[in-house]
Amino acid sequence: MKHRYLPMTLQDEKEMLGAIGVQTIDELFEDIPEQVRFSREYAIKPAKSETELLRELSGLADKNKDLRQNASFLGAGVYDHYMPIVVDHVISRSEFYTAYTPYQPEISQGELQAIFEYQTMICELTGMDVANSSMYDGGTALAEAAMLAAGQTKKKKILVSEAVNPESKDVLRTYAKGQYIEVVEIPAPAGVTDASELEKQMGEDVAAVLFQYPNFYGQIEPLKDLEQIAHQGKSMMIVSSNPLALGVLTPPGELGADIVVGDAQVFGIPSAFGGPHCGYFAVKNKLMRKVPGRLVGQTVDEEGQRGFVLTLQAREQHIRRDKATSNICSNQALNALAASVAMTALGKKGVREMAVQNLQKANYAKRRFKEAGFTLPFEGAIFNEFAVKLDIPVKEANAHLIQSGIIGGYDLGLTNPSLEGHMLVAVTELRTKTEIDQLVKELGDRHE
């Protein structure tokens, strides 16, 4: 029988004790006074056989409400999307699965090329010139972008839209505190950034303005109009964007963004328990030497053959500390590979088709909620999320939905008290008409 775990034998124990000069386990611990030794039985259940243990653990796992048996309308930054089956096949190959940082290009060409292709596809989606080889997640990427802007402009004030993901804002504030940077939130009472309030807050001390596109409430920010305000006083415009949405939306790079960041979880990365995911970070050429994390470059060897190397390292481990722009030390290379495999498998037409399905299905759901008499607090264009006002607490509604095999939406009251009783509903390409209609019906049955 093939064992995945080989226990220590008595002979192994005897040889190890002999190597350190003792005869027994008791002799090994004799220097520890008897009164402080642990002498009672552990308060744990008796050991089980492997078969019994697997049965028990499987039973516990089956209690989870996972995405295989339940239709999920939960988004808020982590989404249930189609993942081409080839993704798992490629990232499970040992040369990728066990690879460490590709510092030695002579033995890492495969991984370096895969990362380079990821960077290229991110640039094509965002309309930017240069992308790095991924970051931890979208929140980290956004905070790093803000710190880059502050360092580049030598200014100490960041303006961030209320409609940016609240978890990303928390990460931003954590970064900013250590750098003594002021973070000012711009309200979004109508679901999009208040342009007039933004203009009031602009000044010579502003390093950057941060938007999300589509934003946390699912609305499409009018970036073209906001850009004219954001660039007053030579500040930067940073946009956090769902890369799948860029299959149908105008890329931020074409709307004046200086830095575009986001999370590539939507491409081939399971939602899991909220991570690990894969942040992306893209800039215009003028900022390429300030990009945090890793950057893979294409070159040629002395024989003129195409090759790939890590280049333009911006962290203090590689360059003088006073010139470093970031201390972030790693990335999510395996998840970046998953994203690049997914984007390659889908192709340009596939990414657009997937994005269009999100757009169409979300708008169908939005229309069905309106027809059922629900109030939708925000008007305007959406991608695949929108807010709905309920007559009962969102927690109660979600407890009811899960009994019908539906994972409900995000409770907006958790992060915005003014939206107490509002659910953020996400509708991806995986949701069917039947599932959408059932969601509306189940909530409608409890709607006054």
Task: Please write the tens of the pLDDT for every residue from 234-275.
Answer: 999 999 999 999 999 999 999 999 999 999 999 999 998 888
The half-sphere exposure of 344 on its side-chain side, counting CA atoms within 13 A, is: 17
Whose tokens are 């308060």? That residue is: 43
Instruction: Give the separation between CA 363 and CA 175, rounded to whole angstroms.
Output: 36
What would the two tokens of residue 410 be? 């995000």
Q: Which of 287, 279, 226, 234 is nearest to 259 (CA)?
A: 287
Return the CATH number of the domain spanning residue range 71-82+348-444. 3.90.1150.10
Residue 104's pLDDT is 79
Q: Amino acid identity of 362?
A: A
- b/e burial code for range 403-412 (CB count within 10 A of at least 16 → b): eeebbbbbbb
Residue 64's pLDDT is 87
Residue 223 CA to its chain's centroid (Å): 22
Instruction: Give the separation between CA 106 and CA 77, rounded to whole angstroms.
Output: 38
Tell me whether domains 71-82+348-444 and 86-342 share a fold.
no
Instruction: Give the separation between CA 369 and CA 440, rounded to whole angstroms.
Output: 6
Q: Which of 93, 90, 78, 79 is nearest to 341 (CA)?
A: 90
Residue 105's pLDDT is 78
**330-354 pLDDT, tens digit each:** 667 899 999 999 999 999 999 999 9
CA angle at 228 for the pair 222 and 233, rounded to the nearest 5°: 140
Residue 311's pLDDT is 83
What are the residue ranges spanned by the domains of the chain? Answer: 71-82+348-444, 86-342
DSSP string, 136-157: S-HHHHHHHHHHHHHHHHT--E
Instruction: Give the separation between CA 173 and CA 442, rounded to whole angstroms.
Output: 39
Residue 172's pLDDT is 97
Beta-strand relationship, 410-411 and 182-186: unpaired
DSSP string, 56-109: HHHHHHTTS--TTTSEE---TT-------THHHHHHTSHHHHT------GGG-H
> Do residues 227 and 204 make contact, with C-beta atoms less than 8 angstroms apart?
no
Beta-strand relationship, 385-389 and 422-426: antiparallel
Task: Give phi and psi for 312, each to the nearest 5.
Answer: 50, 50
> Do residues 156 and 150 make contact, with C-beta atoms less than 8 angstroms apart?
yes
Residue 414's pLDDT is 96
Residue 398's pLDDT is 96
Q: Please enumerate in sequence order all residues whose Cβ is within 8 A of that of 303, keeping only pairs 6 or more positions apart, or say none.
A: none
Residue 40's pLDDT is 87
- Residue segments in the chain with a per-residue pLDDT below the cut of 50: 1, 316
CATH architecture of 86-342: 3-Layer(aba) Sandwich (3.40)
pTM summary value: 0.87
State the CB neighbour count (10 A cutoff) for residue 292: 24
Residue 214's pLDDT is 97
> Do residues 64 and 396 make contact, with C-beta atoms less than 8 angstroms apart?
no
Helix (H) or strand (E) holding 407: strand 406-407
